[in-house]
Structure 1
């Protein structure tokens, strides 16, 4: 019965027709090509290339080559932090105009070069991990006793 109800709902829904869009930002006239002897100029990181700006193949290849020099990134799971630590770390990173992820990358690079610092951080991390496991067990016991 639920399949027939679902089919009726699908048949009865009316989707509005969307008119075709006129892309006025895209030039209809062919742009003249830039000179072949392009010089690569270092631009500050804040400078952004507009998507509407026509580019020559050479300029595009230069941008791709520059991008290839920068290490690739990979998404990681969400980071769970203590509330107070999260607030102070977020504020610190905002004040310095970086993300928490970039700060974590830099801290990792620094500590891999400094074994003593890595050892100290690992001891602290293991202590914090044990505390979190204990907190999880306590929350589970409380839930079981309340329910």
Structure 2
């Protein structure tokens, strides 16, 4: 009995149809010389992206293959563990990235690309990172010591 009710519901439902589109958005990108070399590229939000003019007779499978080929040119990404930041720095960085319409991860990627291309900048960043790492290690030891002392009966 439930099968017949289910069949009737399936027959009676109205699914909207979407017309088939003839246009596809495909941009051609020059393949970089080497995947391990990073380039700093100037970006202008006003600059239109190059589009390929397509004839309406091209099949969808050709467009699909072109899209797959274009995607293969983009470097693959990996998920990384959650980033732990100082509260004030987290708020400032989050606000800055939101104001400039980029994610924190993409901003860090760009900062890495820029810093790796500038050895003096990289040296300064590394010195600051080592200082912060030492501060975090010290804070961790203090937290552990406090936990041990608070747990000890007086």
Equivalence map 1:62-101=2 (5 Å): 62-101=66-105
Q: 2: distance between equivalents of 1:121 and 1:66? A: 34
| Of 111, 116, 120, the match for 2:115 | 111
Q: Which runs of 5+ in 1 are unaligned?
A: 1-18, 46-54
Q: Which runs of 5+ in 2 are unaligned?
A: 1-5, 29-47, 50-58
Kindly report structure 1 stretches of 4+ aligned residues shifted beyond 4 Å. Answer: 19-23, 38-41
Q: 1:59: how far off?
A: 1.0
Report the CA distance shift for 1:23/1:68 in structure 2 as closer, same or farther (over 3 A).
Answer: farther
Q: 1:24: how far off?
A: 2.6
Q: Give RMSD over aligned pairs.
A: 3.1
Report the CA distance shift for 1:112/1:24 in structure 2 as closer, same or farther (over 3 A).
Answer: same
Report the CA distance shift for 1:23/1:143 in structure 2 as closer, same or farther (over 3 A).
Answer: farther
DSSP 3-state at the match of 2:88: helix
TM-score, length basis structure 2: 0.64
TM-score, length basis structure 1: 0.66
Q: 1:65: how far off?
A: 1.2
- What is residue 45 of structure 2 aligned with on the other side? none
Q: 1: distance between equivalents of 2:123 and 2:97? A: 24
Q: 2: distance between equivalents of 1:69 and 1:63? A: 10
- The yes-or-no answer on 1:24 pairing with 2:15 is yes
